[in-house]
Amino acid sequence: MLKICTKKLKYLHLKGNSILKKEYRAGIYLRISKENMHENNSIKAQREITTKYARDNGYKIIKEYEDNGYSGILNSRPGLNEMIIDITRGLINMVIVKDLSRLTRDKNKTGWYTEIFFPDNDIRFISVTEFIDSGERYQIDDTIALRGIANQYYIADISKKIRSNKKAMKENGKYVEFFVPYGYKKKEEDIHEVIIDKKVENIVKLIFDMYIEGNSCYKIATYLNNKNVISPSTYLKMKNESKEWSKETVNSILSNQFYCGDMIMNRYNTNYITKVCKRNKDNLIIKENAHPAIISKIKYTKVQEIKNSKIVQQKEKHDYLLKSLLYCGHCKLKYQYRIEKSANKKDYLYNSSRF
């Protein structure tokens, strides 16, 4: 058997006088985002379209890769990452998608996949509904770049619409976040309206009262744990739940203006393309009396005054005379400066960290 090793003809080999085409091992990639749960674009619909295409053209499907609820702008997705690993290992040599936007909505990534990664790994790429097929020579038509730009524009446009819609709803006093603060719950008839959760309302009141009485956040958390009170993250069934109360959790409740009936808007800026959320310290919008209050404004203000009075000023730093100059004669480590206090005197010492 004579093999032809030229780069463009890898898919061919000669056996006698016959030419046999390359045997393809296909992987189908399926993706849908949370914002685009349309029936015609569902995982089920994508699976039917891609598998039918593979079956009609005689391509054997080796594996299926799925990302349910992931944005196409994200570079890292579980199913996509798995497919990339399998490509580099040679498990598959063909990728079939319903359309290019399933693979990515990033115009730069579109070019990287179709012009660099797939050709370098001898991957034949097929987008069924867009009639895109890189062919056996792994060449992509230039119009695919235009599709990449259109896909990125689509998600940027969706991002602006979501942000604008959320802003309008917040200005009208509507609650648009997924989780509600501990002590509240969403109304069954209207998920954009919050009401007081009577089951844990008294816990919130207790925390504020105990703090005003002089208890620290740590003592309050310890008290709640000793009383076997379910932690907020466990109660709200959050993903990264903590089974115990902590001083940080107590402090966040004491600092949250939501409990006196006010809604703070524009606190975070969320990029719906990259899914990155950043804290916004400026241009906060406060809508007063947006929902029922658990704590009075007088009590909330008093707690903030107590908290502010307990802020410890940062200790003054000193550059000591022999800093970084003394070393231990035994272990060769630097001497560290420390102060030892007793009832009658204060000693200033240099010692090695080993002893």
* Domain ranges across the chain: 2-153, 172-305, 318-355
- Cβ neighbors of 200 (< 8 A, separation 6 or more) are 182, 183, 235
Quick one: tokens of 154?
Answer: 């689509």
Position 234 scores a pLDDT of 87
C-alpha torsion sign, points 127, 131, 136, 139:
negative
The most distant pair of C-alpha atoms in the chain lies apart, rounded to whole Å, by 103
> What is the second-level CATH architecture of the domain 172-305?
Alpha-Beta Complex (3.90)
Is CATH 3.40.50.300 the right assignment for the domain spanning 2-153?
no
CA atoms within 13 A on the CB side of 206: 12
What local confidence, expressed as pLDDT, does residue 151 receive?
55
Question: Cα 82–87–93 angle (5° rounding)?
Answer: 130
Instruction: Give the tens place of pLDDT for each residue, 107-153.
Output: 778 888 888 898 889 999 999 988 888 875 544 555 555 555 555 55
DSSP-assigned states of every residue in 140-191: --THHHHHHHHHHHHHHHHHHHHHHHHHHHHHTT----SSPPTTEEE-SS-T
Burial grade of 16 (CB within 10 A; 0-12, 13-18, 19 or more): exposed
Residue 56 neighbours by CB distance under 10 Å: 8
Please tell me the distance from the alpha carbon of residue 134 to that of residue 157, in angstroms, as a whole number: 29
**Cβ density class 193-219: b for 16+ within 10 Å, e for less:** ebebbeebeebbebbbebbeeebebee
In the block, tokens 């053209």 appear at 57
Instruction: Identify the pLDDT of residue 332.
Output: 65
* Joined tokens for residue 182: 């501990």
* Cα–Cα dist 70/76, whole Å: 9
Q: What is the distance between the alpha carbons of residues 98 and 46, in angstroms, rounded to a whole number?
A: 6
245 and 231 in contact (C-beta within 8 Å)? Answer: yes
Per CATH, 2-153 and 172-305 having the same topology is answered no
Distance CA 181, CA 293 (A): 12
Q: What is the pLDDT along the chain (355 residues), one digit of tens a residue?
A: 334 343 333 433 434 444 456 789 999 999 998 766 555 678 999 999 999 999 999 999 999 999 998 887 788 899 999 999 999 999 999 999 998 888 888 777 888 888 889 888 999 999 998 888 887 554 455 555 555 555 555 556 656 666 666 666 666 767 777 788 899 998 888 887 889 999 999 999 999 999 999 999 999 999 999 999 999 988 887 766 678 899 999 999 999 999 998 887 766 666 555 555 566 666 677 778 888 999 999 999 999 999 888 765 444 456 666 666 777 776 667 766 665 554 455 555 555 554 5
Residues sharing a CB contact under 8 Å with residue 319, sequence separation 6 or more, in sequence order: none
